[in-house]
Amino acid sequence: MSKWREVGNTLAMLLRGAGGLMKPLSRAVLLVCGAVLLVMVVLAFTRLPFDAHRALGLSGECREAPEVVVVLGGSGMPSGPELLRLQHAAALANVLIEAPVIVVHPPDTGVMRLMVAELVLRGVAPARIHPVLKCANTREQAFAVHCAFPRFAGSSIALVTAPENMYRSVRTFEKVGFSAVCGEPAWDNPMFIDLDYTHRGIGGKDWVPDVSDDTGIRYTFWNYLKLEITCLREYAAITYYWLNDWI
């Protein structure tokens, strides 16, 4: 019994020591998290998140008519981001009537079928659409397109993807050997309408703050918070790609 008592006492001593070390560490982590949250809340009241997102999307913007359209998928179908990319790709393909349209997506034949059908629905001839199903990230997508279509390595290529992914996508395709890559970001379509309403007129309580005419609090602040997360995630991905020498 004395042996097990000694083991128990030793473990209790070790736990107390670990607890003493963890307390200041936990306090430091909480302080850092609180500071980051405060900074993000403050930034959401400015236009910096919007400008950061826009800068990512405008990186490598197409200046001339490209010869090939490449749609980078990965969000599933139907989904807002995927449908938005396909809409932009179809609009571009209907202007560049000679350009082949390469659709790149992780290996899911059902999703690819829906993506191709969406392009056809929007006026792109099936013979122009070339599915590529063997990639799980942007690096693999670039390799897959280069391996499947080496003849396009010297052609001007327009990448259609989410705005925040554009900088990394263009640089990644350039890194694997494409000499003329530009970006066609799939921007959201803004609404230019009055979203004010009458707080009291629809039964708003007297003691609840009236934000009926403040779209900044109702929408812009929250949208900018989401943009901050989106941009932070993309900056982390760019750093990871840079460390791997993929861009």
| pLDDT tier, 7 (very low <50, low <70, confident <90, very high otherwise) | low
Please state the domain count of the chain: 2
pLDDT at residue 200, rounded to an integer: 80
Residues 32 and 99 in one domain: no
Least confident of 4-13, 20-29, 106-115, 220-229: 4-13
Residues 80 and 36 in one domain: no
| pLDDT tier, 211 (very low <50, low <70, confident <90, very high otherwise) | confident
| pLDDT tier, 10 (very low <50, low <70, confident <90, very high otherwise) | low
Residues 34 and 78 in one domain: no
Residues 103 and 135 in one domain: yes
Residues 23 and 94 in one domain: no
Query: Which helix (H) or strand (E) covers residue 42, if one does?
Result: helix 2-43
Residues 102 and 14 in one domain: no
Residue 136: inside a domain: yes
Check residue 206 and give left, alpha or beta (phi > 0: left; psi -120 to 50: alpha). alpha
Residues 70 and 177 in one domain: yes
pLDDT in tens, 42-94: 999 999 999 999 999 998 888 888 999 999 987 888 888 899 999 999 999 99
Regarding predicted confidence, which is higher, 27 or 238?
A: 238
pLDDT in tens, 96-125: 999 999 999 988 899 999 999 999 999 999
Q: Mean pLDDT over residues 203-224, rounded?
A: 84
Residue 238: inside a domain: no
| pLDDT tier, 193 (very low <50, low <70, confident <90, very high otherwise) | confident
pLDDT at residue 63, rounded to an integer: 85
Residues 114 and 25 in one domain: no
Q: Mean pLDDT over residues 163-186, rounded?
A: 94
Residue 134: inside a domain: yes
Contacts 24+ apart (CB under 8 A), 194-197: 195/219
Residues 32 and 70 in one domain: no
What gap in Å lies between CA 76 and CA 231, rounded to an integer?
21
pLDDT at residue 14, rounded to an integer: 56
Residue 118: inside a domain: yes
What's the distance, CA 9 to chain centroid? 52
Residue 166: inside a domain: yes
Residue 192: inside a domain: no
Residues 32 and 102 in one domain: no
Closest of 139, 132, 144 to residue 103, by C-alpha: 132
Query: What average pLDDT does the structure give for the chain?
Result: 87
Residue 125: inside a domain: yes
Range of the domain at 73: 63-183
> How many Cβ atoms are within 10 Å of 87's Cβ, its own excluded?
16
Question: CA dist 245 to 164, 176, 177, 230, 238, Å?
Answer: 20, 11, 14, 22, 10
Residues 88 and 130 in one domain: yes
> How many Cβ atoms are within 10 Å of 137's Cβ, its own excluded?
13
pLDDT at residue 5, rounded to an integer: 59
Closest of 84, 95, 104, 106 to residue 62, by C-alpha: 95
What gap in Å lies between CA 116 and CA 131, rounded to an integer?
8
Residues 33 and 127 in one domain: no
Judged by DSSP in three states, 199 sits in coil
Residue 237: inside a domain: no
CATH of the domain at 168: 3.40.50.620
pLDDT at residue 76, rounded to an integer: 81
pTM of the model: 0.84
